[in-house]
Amino acid sequence: MAKLYFFYGAMNSGKTTRILQCEYNYNEQGMRAVIMKPMIDTKGNEKIVSRIGSSKKVDYLIKNDENIFDLIVSEYNHVDLILVDEAQFLTRKQVNQLMDIVIDLDIPVMCYGLRTDFKGNGFPGSTRLLEIAHELTEIKTICECGKKAMFNVRLIDGKVITEGESVAIDGVGKISYTVACSKCFRLKTRQKFDHEDKVTKKI
């Protein structure tokens, strides 16, 4: 039976590189894999871009209100694997639709995404995936202190930010991100909580 997989991690953990490798392996075996991602991510537009330089145009951009089950039935019914990048941006309903694809169409679905936003809170898509995916795999990356990085820290002009919308895409404007272990995340963000008013004014 097909399964719903969720590969999760902090930013820069190599998720996109794994997607590209996985698609390559399927194609080499004569099977068809499709790569999708939610439209909300503007990084690279229709491309998925890995940190080590390789990139590829995605096969489909998922709209926010799109029924992915209906889409697969009508357009991609003969695929062997569905790969979803930036799966944290899916809605809970869309993750349920992915589960229906796995159960009713017997197509495996591999989702890749962030576990939490820059405040340490779960995204709707990743939270639902953590709840219902058959297989959960953490993709590990390293904090500057050497421990496992679990969190994403948002920076504006190099300064740590603890307020704002959960979705702000890396590389747009002056926003950037770094990763941190739990201890460094607390140290970095609490430091700024103490100066919250000043930081808010600067934005």
- Active site residues per annotation: 86
Among 48, 98, 179, 184, binds Zn ion (CB under 5 A): 184
Query: Please, which residue, 43 or 192, has the CB nearer to Zn ion?
Result: 192
Among 38, 84, 181, 189, binds Zn ion (CB under 5 A): 181
CB of 90 to Zn ion, least distance (A): 29
Residue 179 touches Zn ion, criterion: CB under 5 A? no
**Nearest partner of 108 among 47, 31, 39, judged by Cα:** 31
Query: Please, which residue, 112 or 151, has the CB nearer to Zn ion?
Result: 151
The 131-170 contact track toward Zn ion, x by CB under 5 A, reads: ------------x-x-x-----------------------
The two tokens of residue 117 are 């936003």
CB of 157 to Zn ion, least distance (A): 22
Query: Please, which residue, 68 or 181, has the CB nearer to Zn ion?
Result: 181
Gap between the Cα atoms of 83 and 65, Å rounded: 19
Among 19-27, 40-48, 150-158, 183-191, the segment contacting Zn ion (CB under 5 A) = 183-191
Query: Please, which residue, 103 or 145, has the CB nearer to Zn ion?
Result: 145
CB of 67 to Zn ion, least distance (A): 41
Q: Which residues bind Zn ion (CB under 5 A)?
A: 143, 145, 147, 181, 184
